[in-house]
Chain A
Amino acid sequence: MLASIASEALSGLEGKPVQVEADVVAAAPAFYIVGLPDAAVQESRERVRAAIVNSAYAFPSRRITVNLAPADLRKEGPSFDLPIALAFLVATGQAAEGCDGRGPLAAVGELGLDGTLRPVAGALALAESLRRRGMRGLILPAANAAEAALVDGLEVYPARTLAEAVTQLAAGGGAAAPPADLTALLGSPPAGGADLADIMGQEQVKRALEVAVAGAHNVLMSGPPGAGKTMLARRLPGIMPALTLDEAIEVTRIYSVAGLLPQDRALITQRPFRAPHHTISSPGLVGGGGTPRPGEVSLAHLGVLFLDEFAEFRLSALEGLRQPLEDGEVTISRRLMSLTFPARIMLVAAMNPCPCGYLGDRERDCTCPAHRVRQYGSRLSGPLLDRIDLRLEVPRVSPRDRRSGAHGEPSAQVRARVAKARERQLARLAGTGAYANAHMSARHLRRLCTLDADATALLDRAYERLRLSARACDRVIKVAQTIADLEAAPTITPAHVAESLSYRNRSHHDR
C-alpha cells in the first residue's frame, strides 16, 4: 500500500513543501527513509516505531520505504516524525485520510516514544508557507498551535498525541483552533520592563540615546566600568516605537525558527534586546552553521543588539556586522542554497576607553601604557566605525551627583517623542528606501537635509577646528537632522549642529 502526507521543511526562515510517501510491501522486514535525510530524520525510524507500538497500533513485519520528496532538498530535524507515522498508518490501513472530502491536511511534529507530540521549531514559518501553497489546514503539536494560529486563512488542528492526530486526519480536522486575536496579543501590556526613569544622572547620555533611537542611529558608548552603560542600553527597547503587527510577526518568525519562542507566548510584542558575550563566534553573531541558523543580529531584528566590551569581540565577528548594518539583512551562502535573514538592528556598542578602563576617569588613574591605549581603540575598523553615528562618553556618576540627580523622564514619554520624530522622517524619506535618518545615503543627505546659513557656517568652522573628516561631517548632519525632527523644526539650526557635534568622543571622532 502506498500513502502520502503533505509536510514542510524549514529552510532559513521559509518553509519548503515536502511530500512524505510511505510504501509498505510484503518482503523482508526493513524500514528505510530516503530523500536526503539527516541524522535526526534517520533516527525518526526508532521514534516512529516506538510511538506507533506504544499508541496501540500494529507495526507489521514488512518492508517499509519512506520517501521525502523532493529528493534533492536536504531534510533536517525531527519535525517529519508525525507525517512519517501518519503516512505509515494510512499505508497499513490503520488510519484513514480526509473522509469528509474537504481536501488533505498537512502535518508536522516530533514524536515521543510514548506517542506524545513535541513542539517543533519554526511552526509559524511553516504555517505561512502552507497557506501560500493553498493547503487547507495543518495538524501540529498542541504547543505550537497558538503560534501557527497567527496565520490568517489556515486551519490549525492541535494534537497532543499520535492518536489524536490520527483522529483529526480521519475526520478532516474536526475542531480547528480558533484564529488568534491579533490585536489582543499585540495590545497586551509590556511586562514591566526597565524604565529610563530608574536611572539617576547621565542626562546627556539619556538625551543622546533618545536621539539615537529617534533616527535609528547606531551608538558606541565608551566609559569606565560601572558607569551604567549596560543599564542604559537595556532601556533602549522601551523607548523605541511599539512593534506593528507585521513587525511582531517578523520577530516571532525568527524566534520560532531559532527555537527561542517562549512556551507561554505566541507572539513576541516587545522589541528584542540581545546582548551576546564578547567571546561569541562569527557564525553565532551574524548567523551561519552547516544548516544556517539566524545569528544574534537576526535575533535582534527590529530591536537592539548590545555588544558590551566591543573591542574584545573577535575581529571576524565584528567585520561580519558590516553587511547587516549596511543592508539590514544577512546573506549566508552554502553549496546548495543561499539564505537571507533579516537583521534591521540598532547596534549599541559599549567599551572601556582603555584596557584598564579608567582613562579620563576623574577619580582613578589609568594604568595603561600609552601604546596599549592606542592599540585598544584601533581594533575597531574604520568601515565599522563609519556606521556608528553617535560615539558617547559615559562618565561615572559620583555618588553625590547620583543622590542629587533628579529621576529622569519615564520611558513612555520619550517613546512618544521618538514615535513623532520617526513619523516625520518617514514622510520626508518616502521613496528613498530608507526608513530613518541613519539610513540616508550621502545623496539623499544633500537633497533632503536643509541647514540654515548659520548652521552651515558652524559646520564649516567645526570641520576646520575639530579636524572632522568628510564622513564625520555627514554623520553630524544626519544626527542634527534627527535632533531637528525631535523638535519638529523644518530646517537644521546651529543649535542642532552644535548638539550633534557633542555626540562624538575624543578617541574615535576623526574616523
Chain B
Amino acid sequence: MIDEPSAGDAPRLTLSVSSAQRRALCIWLGTLASWRGGLVRRLVGACGSVSDLLDTSPETLASLIRPPGVAPRMKKVGATTTSRKLARERERPAAERDVEEERFAAALEARPEDLAQMQERFAHSVVVAWCDPLYPPALRQLADPPLCLFVRARCDDREIRRRLQILCNAPAVAVVGTRAPSPYGTEMAWALGRDLTSRGVLVVSGLALGIDATAQAAAIGAAKAAQHLATVAVLGCGPDVVYPHANARLRDEVARRGLLLSEFAWGVPARPWRFPARNRVMAALSRGVVVVEGASRSGARITAGFALELGREVLAVPGEAGKRLTEAPHDLLRHGAAICESADDVVAAIATTQLDAAALAGHLDTSEVARLLERGSDNGRVSGVLQALERGPMTADQVASTCEVRVYEASALLSELEVDGLATLTDGGVYRLNRR
C-alpha cells in the first residue's frame, strides 16, 4: 500500500481545468484503476471528493499514485499486507503479475490526453467519463465511483448512447446468484428475468455462469421490441474480453440487444479481485438486488452487502431449508431482506410511477393452457398431468403412476406441455411446471 497523505497535504491546482481535460483525466485514472484495485478510493481520500480529484493536475496525481523514489513492488509486499493476501499474491504466476504491472506503468507514463484518445478509438464502443451527462447518476452515490465506464455493444455509437440514456432512466434490478444453481434456482432466475423484462424492469447482471446467465438469457428472450434495452451485463473484465468462455454466445446476444459495461479498460483480464468491484457497480446501478441462490460466502452475498450500504432494496428467493445453495438468500431473509417469489414481489419493492401499469398486468400463460385443453380428446389427461405437476416436480414415472396412465402416454403428455411452454425438463429427468 502507498502511504496515504492526508487531504491537507495534497497540493491543489487553482487554475480551472477545461472539460476536455477533465474527461481525459477521468479516462486516464479509470484506466489506471483497472490495473490497481482501490486506487480511486485512495485518491478520493487524498483529494477530498471526486470533483476535487479531477481538479488536481496529472503530475500531482502521478506523484500521489507513486511517490517518487519508491519502487511500487517493494511497497506492495510491505508489512501492511496481510499474510493471506501475500500468499495469494505469491500464487499468481509472476509473468501475469508483471504484465499487469507493465500495463499499469505504461498507462501511468502516458499523457492523459493521449491515453484517452487511444481508449476511445475502438469501434462499437463508447467510453463514458464521470463528468459526462450519460454517466449513470446512480453510480455517483458510490464513495469510489468508477471514473469512467467502458461500454460495448454490437451497434453504432449513436445507438450505444441511446441505450446508455435508457440505462440512466430505467428502473434496473440486479438478479444475481450462484454459478452452479439447482434446477429450481435456474427456473426462478429464468422466470424473474423473463417477467421483470416484460414488466419494463431492466435486468442487470454479471454474465457469470448459472443464475446470472439464465436471468439475462431470459431477459433477452422476453424483450420483444427491437428498441428495448434487453439487459445490461456488468463485467469483471474489459468489455472486449470474453469471460467466461462458456457464455460467449450469450455475450454476443447481450452485445446485440443490450450493453456490455465495465469499469475495467479494454483488454483487462478477469481476476478474482475484480469481481467484488464489479458487484459494487452492479448494486449501485440497480434499484434492487435479487439473490436467487448462493452459498454463505458468495459473490451474490457481496452484491447484496453493497446494495444494503447504498440503500438499495434487497430481495431473496427462498429455497429449501438446509441446502448449501440457500444459505445466502435465507441469511438475507433472516436479516430483513424482502421475500421474492415472483417478479411481482420485486416490482412491489422497487415500485415507482414509471412502471407501466399495462406491463405490470403481466403476461400469463393461461391462454396456452386454454389452447392446449381445446385440442383433441386429451383434455382430461392433460389437466391431470398439470394438476400432478402442481404438487411438485416429478419424473415421467411418477406422473404415470399419479395419473394412472401408461408411462409412454405420460412421456408424450409431458413433452406436449414442454413444447407449449408449460413445463420444463430439468436435470435428472424431472419435469417442473413453469410458473408464470
A interface with B by C-beta (< 8 Å): 201-204, 206-207, 223-224, 353, 359-362, 365-366, 368-371, 373-374, 392-395, 397, 401, 404, 454, 458, 461-462, 465-466, 483, 494-507
Chain A residues within 8 Å of B418, by CB: 465-466, 501
Contacts of B244 in A (CB 8 A): 371
User: What would 16 more interface pairs be, CB under 8 Å, given A223-B429, A393-B429, A498-B411?
Assistant: A203-B407, A204-B400, A206-B407, A353-B428, A370-B179, A392-B429, A394-B429, A404-B401, A458-B416, A458-B419, A462-B415, A494-B416, A498-B419, A499-B408, A505-B425, A506-B427
Separation of A365 and B320 alpha carbons in the complex (Å): 12
| A377 shortest CB reach to chain B, Å | 11
B223 vs chain A, min Cβ distance (A): 17
CB nearest to A201 among chain B residues: B397
List B residues 409-436 near A (Cβ within 8 Å).
409-416, 418-421, 425-430
* Cβ contact of B426, chosen from A466, A483, A500, A506, cutoff 8 A: A506
* A378: min CB distance to chain B, Å: 9
B213, closest chain A residue (CB):
A370
| Any A CB within 8 A of the CB of B246 | yes
Q: How many residues of B contact A (CB 8 A)?
A: 38
Q: A204-B397, A360-B183, A507-B427 are in contact. Are A502 and B420 (CB under 8 A)?
A: no
Q: Sorted from nearest, which 6 A-B pairs have the closest CB atoms?
A: A360-B427, A360-B428, A393-B429, A498-B412, A502-B411, A501-B415
Shortest C-beta distance, B2 to chain A (Å), equals 36
Contact B407 A204 (CB under 8 A): yes
- Asked whether, in the complex, the Cβ of B430 is within 8 Å of the Cβ of A395, the reply is yes
Shortest A489–chain B CB gap in Å is 13
Most central of B324, B398, B407 by chain A CB within 10 Å: B407
The proximity string for B residues 295-314 relative to A, scoring 1 for CB distances below 8 Å and 0 otherwise, is: 00000000000000000000
Contact between A502 and B428, CB atoms less than 8 A apart: no
CA distance A504 to B418 in the complex (A): 12
Complex Cα gap A52–B411 (Å): 71
Q: Shortest beta-carbon distance, B179 to chain A, in Å?
A: 5
| Interfacial chain A residues near B209, Cβ < 8 Å | 370-371
Q: Which residue of B398, B413, B419 contacts A462 across the interface (Cβ within 8 Å)?
A: B419
Complex-state Cα separation, A496 to B413, whole angstroms: 10
B323 at interface (Cβ–Cβ under 8 A)? yes
8 Å CB interface, B173-193 against A: 179-180, 182-183
Q: Does B238 contact A (CB under 8 A)?
A: no
Query: With A204-B400, A365-B323, A370-B210 given, is the CB distance from A395 to B428 under 8 Å?
Result: yes
Cβ of A224: which chain B residues have Cβ within 8 Å of it? Answer: 428
Binding site for A on B (CB under 8 A): 179-180, 182-183, 209-210, 244, 246, 323-325, 376, 395-398, 400-401, 407-416, 418-421, 425-430
A203 and B401 alpha carbons, distance in the complex (Å): 10
Give the one of A483, A501, A504 with max B CB within 10 A.
Answer: A501
Residues of A within 8 A of B324 (CB): 365
Please measure, in the bound complex, the distance between the C-alpha atom of A371 and the C-alpha atom of B397, giving whole angstroms. 31
What residues of B have a CB within 8 angstroms of the CB of A366 in the complex?
180
- Select B180's contact among A362, A368, A494, A499, beta carbons within 8 Å: A368
Q: Which B residues are in CB contact (< 8 Å) with A369?
A: 179-180
Determine how close the nearest CB of chain A comes to the CB of B44; give it in whole angstroms. Answer: 36
Q: Kindly list chain B residues whose C-beta atoms are within 8 Å of the C-beta of A371.
A: 209, 244, 246
Check A466/B430 contact, CB under 8 A, given A495-B409, A498-B412, A499-B411: no
Min Cβ gap A438→B in Å is 19
